[in-house]
Amino acid sequence: MPYTVLRSLLAGSIDYAGLFPPASLDMPAAVRQYSEHRAGPDAWALGRFVVPSTRLAELEREAGPLAPRGPAEPWRLSALLGTDPAEELKAFGEFNCRHAATGAAALSADVVEARADSVGAIDRLLDAVPRWAQAYVEIPIAADPAPLVAAIARYGARAKVRTGGVTPEAFPAAADLLRFLRACTAAGVPFKATAGLHHPLRAEHRLTYAPDSVRGTMFGFLNVFLTAAFLRRGLDDAEALRLLEERSPEAFRFSAAGVDWRGHRIDRAAVEEARKAGIVAFGSCSFAEPVGEVRGLLKDGEDGEDGEDGEGQRRAGAESP
């Protein structure tokens, strides 16, 4: 099954951020889309619903008729903290207590995300986060992030990196992103990425959905995830940078057994290990766009059986929107 290794790489990995640019949907539209994605054929790739902590009550109202009841898995939420983390964390805890009291929570918010740009700021933030919540700390990467990653590691928290935005200046240098990935790998810190990862492979695209949008070179989510996975298997920095900037779909071969890229290979077990211990998710304001393009990477576009010995391998050479 050529798609199997991609499922291993991307299962549950796309945190839905439809409320944020460039989609910037209102709450009813974002809630409706998330509900539809949960019920769709690509739900295997869907992660959390990302929401500002200050809008949890609004989400609660809109999701009421759509969120699951009874034994169904609740909607998993990730709450972004803003300018008043202490007060927002209090409201966050009250939200969870309210839903836990029902005995069959329709909404579950056990992840928080916040920014910090120094070791001291990381300490203050993570000292305030309750132990039952998983925290992601978004850190700057223009300078060596190793000290910040080390501080995150001391708390058992996770790192977050911004990989783009709606202007060319929002995209980090590839070398800086690689240094972040290397630091997380060395410290054993899982990470998620956010912004600018709508497409599987590095390429130039419009940075918003506006017809007159400025264009820029975007990172691909497969580039980022595969680079992180290969780093765990000893790939050197020169080759890792080449992989992070790889633009050709013909350079990859996906099979049931693993992934090949320009003479390098990792097997499915290594991909699954990387997902479990290091690569958590990426945030995207669109879900249909990334999963649709992943399917487009396979010539047959199907989840057909090809056998565990790699028979019927496909190159990722199909047209990509």
For the whole prediction, is pTM greater than 0.85? Answer: yes
Widest CA span in the chain: 56
Q: How confident is the model at residue 68 (pLDDT cuts 50, 70, 90)?
A: confident
Cβ atoms of residues 37 and 287 within 8 Å: yes
Residue entry with tokens 């669109």? 286
pLDDT value at residue 103: 52
* Predicted confidence (pLDDT) per residue in 182-238, tens digit: 999 999 999 999 999 999 999 999 998 998 999 999 999 999 999 999 999 999 999
Cβ atoms of residues 15 and 282 within 8 Å: yes
What is the crossing angle of helices 119-128 and 146-154, to 10°? 20
Number of alpha carbons in the 13 Å side-chain half-sphere of residue 233: 20
Distances (CA, A) of 4 to 234, 238, 240, 249, 311: 23, 29, 23, 18, 13
b/e code 24-55 from CB counts within 10 Å (16+ = b): ebebeebbebbbebbeeebeebbbbbbbbbbe
Distance CA 283, CA 17 (A): 6
Single-letter code of the amino acid located at 149: V
pLDDT value at residue 77: 95
In the structure encoding, which two tokens stand for residue 165, read together? 């935005």
Checking if the pLDDT of 7 tops 50, the result is yes
* Predicted confidence (pLDDT) per residue in 133-172, tens digit: 999 999 999 999 999 999 999 999 999 999 999 999 999 9
Distance CA 145, CA 185 (A): 12
pLDDT value at residue 173: 97
* Predicted confidence (pLDDT) per residue in 243-265, tens digit: 999 999 999 999 889 999 999 99
DSSP 8-state secondary structure symbol assigned to residue 232: T
What are the φ/ψ torsions at residue 10 (nearest 5 degrees)? -120, 0
From 53, 55, 56, 49, select the one nearest 15 (Cα to Cα): 49
* Predicted confidence (pLDDT) per residue in 259-310, tens digit: 999 999 999 999 999 999 999 999 999 999 999 998 887 653 333 333 333 3
Q: How confident is the model at residue 105 (pLDDT cuts 50, 70, 90)?
A: low
Q: Which CATH architecture has domain 2-315?
A: Alpha-Beta Barrel (3.20)
